[in-house]
Amino acid sequence: MAITREEVLHAARLAWLALTDEELGRLTDELGAILDAVGVVAELDLADVPPTSHPLDLVNVWDEDEPRPSLSLDEVFANAPDRSGDHFRVPPVGE
């Protein structure tokens, strides 16, 4: 499937891109090659291929979410610049 210079210019205008004549020619060729590759895939018989969102099995690499003791308040506030009881003390907004 070929793409015309006018179609590339139209897409460039929609994306607010200013293209030189050299860029326009190169992008016309490159986009044409991409559309040709997509066209080949569109010709394949995929009737027996199940729909998929990812070609590889996804495996969760995170640890199991299990409850465990959290930090003590002293550990939480160890690097805090200021503390007010069990809260972080921060300067008022606008000062």
- Distance separating alpha carbons of residues 35 and 28, to the nearest angstrom: 11
Please check whether residue 32 lies inside any domain of the structure: yes
Please check whether residue 83 lies inside any domain of the structure: no
Per-residue pLDDT of the chain (95 residues; tens, 9 = 90+): 689 999 999 999 999 999 999 999 999 999 999 999 999 988 989 888 888 877 777 777 677 888 999 999 999 999 999 999 999 998 888 75
Question: What element of type H or E holds 88?
Answer: strand 87-88
Residue 24's CATH number: 1.10.20
Residue 2 token pair: 């070929």
Please check whether residue 76 lies inside any domain of the structure: no
Please check whether residue 54 lies inside any domain of the structure: no
Please check whether residue 84 lies inside any domain of the structure: no
Number of residues that this document lists for the chain: 95
Determine the structural domain holding residue 31 and report its residue range: 5-42
Burial of 32 per CB tally in 10 Å (0-12, 13-18, 19+): middle
Q: What is the pLDDT of residue 13?
A: 94
Please check whether residue 87 lies inside any domain of the structure: no
CA angle 29, 31, 33 (to 5 degrees): 70
Q: What is the pLDDT of residue 66?
A: 87
Domains in the chain: how many in total?
1
CA angle 13, 5, 28 (to 5 degrees): 95
Q: What is the pLDDT of residue 54?
A: 75
